[in-house]
Amino acid sequence: MPRTRDLPLLKPEGDWCCPPLTERPLTAEEAERTAVMFKALGDPVRLRLFSAVASHQGGEACVCDISDVGVSQPTVSHHLKKLREAGLLSSERRGTWVYYRVEPAALAAMGALLTQAAAT
């Protein structure tokens, strides 16, 4: 069975974590869980790699597909691992390459948190 995620900090479906930001202040525990995702996208190289995976044909990409961000391939792999650990990408090895795919539910949870907050 492929090892798709190192830290299952986020549940892949159901109630993810937290109410919309406008509803009530997050608890310390909720903030710890949610900040991990924001932090993962808080680096320009990681954000570029994330968008490269998200926009790649078929919704998945391997390191070989997205190495044009001006950093070395080991650095790309390091950042992809960080995104996976934060629950934003899943990964699967096929032959030589590891393929990465966006976790839609993680993005939806972040988006809902922010969009609902902005709507008030």
Residues that bind a second copy in the complex, under the rule CB under 8 A: 21-28, 31-32, 34-36, 38-48, 50-52, 54-55, 59, 66, 69-70, 102, 104-105, 107-108, 110-120
Shortest separation between residue 61's beta carbon and a second copy, angstroms = 10
Residue closer to a second copy by CB (options 73, 115) is 115
Q: Which of 97, 8, 94, 100 is nearest to 54 (CA)?
A: 100
Shortest Å, Cβ 62 to a second copy: 15
- Beta strand pairing call for 97-102 and 60-62: antiparallel
Q: Based on the number of CB atoms within 10 Å of its own CB, is 119 exposed (0-12), middle (13-18) or buried (19 or more)?
A: exposed
- Please, which residues bridge with residue 91 across strands? 100
Considering the complex, state which of residue 3 and residue 108 has its C-beta at the smaller distance from a second copy: 108
